[in-house]
Structure 1
Amino acid sequence: MLLSQEPMVRMGAFAGVFLAMALWEILAPRREWQIGKGYRWLNNLGVVVLDAVIVRLLFPAAAVGTALFVETQGWGLLRLLDVPYWLMIVIAVVVLDFAIWAQHVFFHAVPALWRLHRMHHADLDFDVTTGLRFHPVEILLSMFIKAGVIVMLGAPALAVLLFEVLLNATSMFNHGNVRLPGRIDRVLRWIVVTPEMHRVHHSWYPNETNSNFGFNLPWWDRIFGTYRAQPRDGHTGMTIGINLFRDPRDLRLDRMLWQPFHGPTHSYPINARSRDDKSIPDREADRDL
């Protein structure tokens, strides 16, 4: 029954979490907004609508449909394990989360892929809508990768649905411009990626941008050495975004979609070096070229 209502389940979860985070941001914001919310939200949510339409047109069944097909074929490594169904679901959710973490690292490591992903980082503010703005081509590539993992793993459809809902919800949560007591944050970030943890990832310093890649589970960054506890300039003093596309006009939908094809990659892809200090962006070098 739950799987047959997959679009409604996902839409209901999305709407509930989005409204809760939007209200939280109004009642207890962590940082002052640098750009008008109306302007940013109109364009960021425009990306969400565009992404959803493209995915549904090109992948009508999406990830859950792929998992249902895999189940009917009996494919996947999990089918070889003699484990209870509930454990298959847990394993599938954890493996899918690791796959998305690894994909995220990969999109920071390969300059051509960074060009796609940097649209997400080029937001000049950090709030719930930032967690939803991804270039449509990146979304399509992510869908291919996710489908490949589902087929290889033989992930149960219920696990895929749960993962999709969790990933969407936690992405909105950890991009929230919300105030979270330090004591609660220190405990929560062992269980889930928190806004204080993920905000570091949106710092304009490359060595901070290339840290804290997790969206849902926080363990991978600790295990693989990409965890950074706090931004060097503090959460209220840090500069959000990257050193390219700092004109508020670049937040417009049409200009966002063109960003992968415009300007240099410079120091942001992992292991790249800027001219002076690999951890400090060069504003002059990254002007539109």
Structure 2
Amino acid sequence: MFDQIDINQLRMACFGGIFLVMALLEVWLPRRGLKSGRLKRWPTNWGLIVLDATLVRLIFPIGGVGLALLAQEQGWGLFGLFGWSGGLAGLMTFLLLDLAVWFQHLVSHKVPLFWRLHRVHHADSEVDATTALRFHPIEILLSFVWKGAVIVALGGPWEAVLIFEIVLNGSAVFGHANIRIPERTDRMLRWLIVTPDMHRIHHSVIQRETDSNYGFYLSVWDRLFGTYTHDPEKGHDGMEIGLGPSLTPRAHSFPFSLMIPFVNSNEQKRQGDDERGASTDS
């Protein structure tokens, strides 16, 4: 069995390898030309990433895998109650955790208080590999509480939780990467997993596009619950990313990014279905 240090090293190695591959592909096979360069955006994005990771490690040192181990030792969770174990419990743990993350993402858009936090993620003026982990620290901590509660409630195998966390981080980086995938390949992949072209639509300034494609790994949830959008109205080259002119330009600043949840919601500019650019707060 892995100890906690081995698990963290494994997760970081997997994340680092996937991020490096995606970052290189963004240089070699970019999907969109960047209007805001990496030197302008990455210091703030990486600052948020490091801050988030540090706080989670300090406040929740046991981690998701540790919670799964604790739940198994104590006999907590539905799977322990029903006596489920092995491959079936592992598969169900993975699927239900992915559904839980999808549902959390949906709620972060529909509940105004959570949307104020989630705006930090959407305020980025471009979508690339660093956007995947650009979140406000409060949202990250709440996210861990939610995920931890689901892990304990299920009581599934710790190995499934470890695999899920590695896949979730990797798929988030892949789904946000600014890489060009052949259209035919993209359409095939979308039947199972979220692709960069599919998720990029979710970062559109047009609200009905933002309020779609919530998945991080499996694409089935958006299709199943009617939140799937196939193509952006203005095309991938013409679509505008972010939250409009009142928030997105200032989101390049690390201090302002931390303050976005506390900025008056009326400053958020999102384009409505009528394309009049009305100011709203979902």
Question: TM-score range, shorter-chain basis?
Answer: over 0.9
- Structure 1 residues 179-190: aligned runs within 5 Å: 179-190=180-191
Residue equivalent to 1:18: 19
Query: 1:202-227 deviations in whole A, cap 9, x for unaligned?
Result: 00001000000000110000000000
Closer/same/farther in 2, CA of residues 78 and 37 from structure 1, 3 Å limit: same
| Partner-residue secondary structure (3-state), 2:58 | helix
Matches within 5 A, 1:1-289: 1-2=1-2, 4=4, 5-243=6-244, 245-246=246-247, 248-264=249-265, 278-280=272-274, 283=277, 285=279
Change (3 A) 1:253 1:265: same
Identity %: 47
Q: Structure 2, unaligned stretches of length 5 or more?
A: none
1:84-105 superposed Cα distances (whole Å, 9 cap, x missing partner): 5011111000000000000100
Q: What letter corresponds to residue 241 of structure 1 in structure 2?
A: G
Mean Cα deviation higher: 88-97 or 246-255: 246-255
1:29 aligns to what SS in structure 2? coil
User: CA separation in 1, counterparts of 2:242 and 2:274?
Assistant: 13
Q: Normalized against structure 1, the TM-score is what?
A: 0.91
- Give distance in 2, aligned partners of 1:94 and 1:122: 29
Runs of 5+ unmatched residues, structure 1? 269-273
| Post-superposition offset of 1:191 | 1.4
- Partners of 1:267 and 1:259 in 2: how far apart? 10
Query: For residues 265 and 226 of structure 1, do their structure 2 counterparts lie closer, same or farther at Cα, with a shift above 3 Å needed?
Result: farther
Farther-moved stretch of structure 1 (47-56 vs 149-158): 149-158
How many matched pairs? 279
Query: Structure 1 residue 249: deviation in Å?
Result: 3.3
TM-score (normalised: structure 2): 0.94
Native 8 Å contact 1:93 1:163 kept in 2? yes
Q: Partners in 1 of 2:143 and 2:276 — Cα distance?
A: 30
* CA distance 1:74–1:179, change in 2 (3 Å): same
Q: CA deviation at 1:120?
A: 0.3
Q: Is the 8 A contact 2:94 2:160 kept in 1?
A: yes
Aligned residues of 1:101 and 1:215 also touching (Cα < 8 A): yes
Distance in 1, Cα, partners of 2:70 & 2:242: 40
Structure with bigger helix share is 2
Aligned partners of 2:138 and 2:256: how far apart in 1? 15
Verify the 8 A CA contact 1:122 1:244 in the aligned structure 2: no
Equivalent position amino acid for 2:69 in 1:
L
In the TM superposition, residue 36 of structure 1 has moved relative to its aligned partner by 1.6
Matched letter for residue 7 of structure 1:
N
